[in-house]
Amino acid sequence: MATVAVPKDKLDAPAVLGVNGPEGGFFADWNSIDWDGAQENVRRLRQRIFTASRDGDLAKVRNLQKLMLRSLSNTLVSVRRATEINAGRKTAGADGQVVLTTPGKAELARFIQQRASSWQARPVRRVFIPKNGAGRKRRPLGIPVIIDRCHQARAANALEPEWEARFEARSYGFRPGRGCHDAIGVIYNTLNGKNPGRVWILDADLAAAFDRIDHDHLLAQLGTFPARDMVRQWLKAGVVERGRFTPTQEGTPQGGVISPVLLNVALHGMEAAAGVRYYNLSTWPKGMRLIVRKERPHPGAQLRFTDLDGLRLTCFATNTKGGQLADLELRHRRRARCEDRIRNARDTGLRNLPLHETAQNRIWLEIVSLALDLLAWMPMLALTGDTRRWEPKKLRLRLFSAAAQLVNTGRHRWLRFTARWPWTDVITHAIDRLHTLPNPG
Mean per-residue pLDDT, 209-221 = 85
Residue 10 has pLDDT above 70, yes or no: no
**pLDDT score at 401:** 82
The residue with greater pLDDT, 183 or 272, is 183
Which pLDDT value is given to residue 73? 94
The residue length of the chain stands at: 441
Mean pLDDT computed over every residue of the chain: 80
pLDDT of residue 199: 66
In 60-214, at which residue ranges do the beta strands (DSSP E only) sit? 124-130, 138-143
Rounded distance, CA 154 to CA 145, Å? 15
Q: Cite the DSSP H helix spans in 211-357.
A: 215-222, 228-236, 259-267, 270-273, 325-348
Q: How far apart are CA 349 and CA 364, in angstroms?
A: 8
Question: Which is nearest to 381 in space by CA: 330, 332, 440?
Answer: 440
The whole-number average pLDDT for the span 361-381 is: 85
Residue 213 has pLDDT above 50, yes or no: yes
Distance from C-alpha of 214 to C-alpha of 174, rounded to nearest angstrom: 19
Task: Pick the more confident residue, 287 or 197.
Answer: 287
Return d(Cα 203, Cα 276) in angstroms, integer: 15
Please give the average per-residue pLDDT across 26-43, as a whole number: 88
Averaged pLDDT for residues 152-163: 94
What's the pLDDT at 151? Answer: 94
Q: Please, which residues have CB within 8 angstroms of residue 135's CB and are 6 or more apart in sequence?
A: none
Q: Is residue 358 predicted with pLDDT exceeding 60?
A: yes
Q: Is the pLDDT of residue 60 over 90?
A: yes
Higher confidence at residue 411 or residue 441?
411
Q: Is the pLDDT of residue 203 over 70?
A: no
pLDDT value, residue 22: 47
Give me the pLDDT at residue 276, please. 65
Going 135 to 129 to 150 to 234, the CA torsion angle's sign is negative
Give CA–CA dist 375/368, Å, rounded: 10
Q: Is the dihedral of CA 103, 106, 111, 112 positive or negative?
A: positive
Rounded to 10 deg, the angle between the 72-80 and 102-114 helix axes is 140
So what's the pLDDT on residue 50? 93
Q: Identify whether the C-beta of residue 73 lies closer than 8 Å to the C-beta of residue 42.
A: yes
Instruction: Tell me the pLDDT tens digit for each residue of 64-96.
Output: 999 999 999 999 999 999 999 988 889 888 888
Which residues neighbour 395 within 8 Å (Cβ) at sequence distance 6 or greater?
A: 375, 378
Higher pLDDT, 197 or 317: 317
Quick one: CA dihedral 29, 35, 36, 40, positive or negative? positive
* Residue 263 burial (C-beta neighbours within 10 Å; 0-12, 13-18, 19+): buried
Percent of the chain clearing pLDDT 70 (strictly above): 79
Cα separation, 108 vs 153, in Å, equals 14
Going by pLDDT thresholds of 50, 70 and 90, the confidence category of residue 175 is confident
Does the pLDDT value for residue 41 go beyond 50?
A: yes
User: Does the pLDDT at position 375 exceed 60?
Assistant: yes
The pLDDT of residue 3 is: 37
311-328 exposure pattern, b = at least 16 Cβ within 10 A, e = fewer:
ebeeebeeeeeeeeeeee
Residues in contact with 172: Cβ distance below 8 Å, sequence separation at least 6, in sequence order: 178, 179, 180, 182, 183
